[in-house]
Amino acid sequence: MISVYMKYKDYDIENFISDEFFVQWVKNPSENNRHFWEKWLEQHPDKRFVVYEAANFIRSINYNINPDLPDKVYVDMYENILKFDEAKPVNKAGRNSGGFFYLFPVKSIAASILLMFCLWIQYEAINFRTENEEEIQIAIISKSNPVGQKSIIDLPDGSRVHLNSESEIEFPASFSEDKRWVTLKGEAFFEIQKESRPFYVESGLTSIHVMGTTFNVNQSENGSLYVALVTGKVRVNSKEGEEVDLEPKEMLVIEQSGTYYKTGFDPLDIIAWKDKTLVFKSASLREIKSKLEKWYGVQVEFKGVFDNNWTYSGIYEDEMLENVLRGICLTSGMKFSIENKKITITNPK
């Protein structure tokens, strides 16, 4: 007989929490299983919330893939029932005495109870699967911005998202009755409507539980995650299963290695981008290049010899690229040229 195996893309929550490889990744992540699940989630973004729900369930309990009733106890109980039935006295007519047990032998009763239990388990599993399949079938909306473009997105519950350039967000066309969620790649500022349903932001393998608030999430290119809280309260669940609560003006930094820490932050430096304000704060040449390329969608090249200790500070509110370049070069004696989307900054000294 040929065995048929379900693929992970067809799994629901019930399947995930009973899958040994999945449980191992959640409880004891290693380089191999972490790499597999990160790549799998990238290829199946529609399954992200189901995966996170299953992972959160596993973390919330002392998870054991074995039944609550040990096998030895179960076998002993059933064996005792059978022995009890065999030990019943038999009358001369060859019939078991004992009234009710004469009409319904204990073996039959035990078998019936076991059958009914199995049918009940199957019924619950079908209902559980059906509910989750209906949830998965809801259309998933995906919004993304290329380099040099920002956008504002209104969610089904009235919440608002400011999506930065080189960023992508996904969310259902309508939220369920008990939860709201989005997945994020890149950077976004959230203004979440406060209501009874919890709101979750999934970024990488990190889950952010929101309780009506405004905050910024930045999944940087180096793999680190920055969650900066402006108002309200958020709870961050890391991929290692750690929970961290943030208060206003606190920022949580989760490094790619899993190390995390809290710190304060300057709102102008962290969230000014959503108001179209470009901020350079003692920025090096590398930082200037990175910000200009992401902000305006251009390519920046430096020519000449530059002081490694050189930095620049400046604030530009919804300013044209040429004026920003003029401001950077004016204080340092540098020159710039613009050719299509290529910027050349030259130091003549």
CATH of the domain at 144: 2.60.120.1440
Q: Please tell me the predicted confidence (pLDDT) of residue 171.
A: 93
Round the average pLDDT of the chain to a whole number and report it.
Answer: 79
Same domain, yes or no: 76 and 51: no
Number of domains in the chain: 4
> Of 43-57, 156-170, 217-231, which one has max mean pLDDT?
156-170
Q: Please tell me the predicted confidence (pLDDT) of residue 2.
A: 38
Same domain, yes or no: 254 and 288: no
Same domain, yes or no: 263 and 201: yes
Same domain, yes or no: 132 and 173: no
CATH label of the domain that carries residue 310? 3.55.50.30
CA distances from 147 to 49, 151, 256 (A): 27, 12, 24
Same domain, yes or no: 48 and 147: no
Same domain, yes or no: 28 and 124: no
Give pTM, 2 decimals. Answer: 0.62
pLDDT tens sequence across 281-311: 999 999 999 999 999 999 999 998 888 888 9
Q: What's the token pair of residue 57? A: 């369930």
Which of 238, 270, 302 corresponds to the end of one domain? 270
Same domain, yes or no: 176 and 226: yes
3-state secondary structure of 245: strand
CA distances from 146 to 151, 270, 280, 317, 341 (A): 10, 20, 22, 21, 14
Domain that holds residue 127: 71-136
Same domain, yes or no: 321 and 238: no
**Pair 229, 246: CB distance under 8 Å:** yes
CA of residue 291 relative to chain centroid, distance: 27
Q: Is residue 150 part of a domain?
A: yes
Q: Is residue 167 part of a domain?
A: yes
Q: Please tell me the predicted confidence (pLDDT) of residue 69.
A: 45
pLDDT tens sequence across 314-342: 999 999 999 999 999 988 889 999 998 89
Same domain, yes or no: 191 and 263: yes
Q: Is residue 2 part of a domain?
A: no
Same domain, yes or no: 163 and 229: yes
Q: Is residue 292 part of a domain?
A: yes
Q: Is residue 65 part of a domain?
A: no
Q: What is the mean pLDDT of residues 99-127?
A: 53
Q: What is the mean pLDDT of residues 72-99?
A: 51
Q: Please tell me the predicted confidence (pLDDT) of residue 78.
A: 53
Which of 221, 252, 270 corresponds to the end of one domain? 270
Same domain, yes or no: 232 and 343: no
| CB burial of residue 11 (10 Å; 0-12, 13-18, 19+) | buried
What percent of the chain stands above pLDDT 90? 40
Same domain, yes or no: 220 and 321: no
**Pair 291, 282: CB distance under 8 Å:** no
Separation between Cα atoms, residue 217 and residue 208, nearest integer Å: 9
Q: What's the token pair of residue 130? A: 């059906």
pLDDT at position 95 over 80: no
pLDDT tens sequence across 197-248: 999 999 887 889 987 789 999 988 778 899 999 999 999 987 667 789 999 9
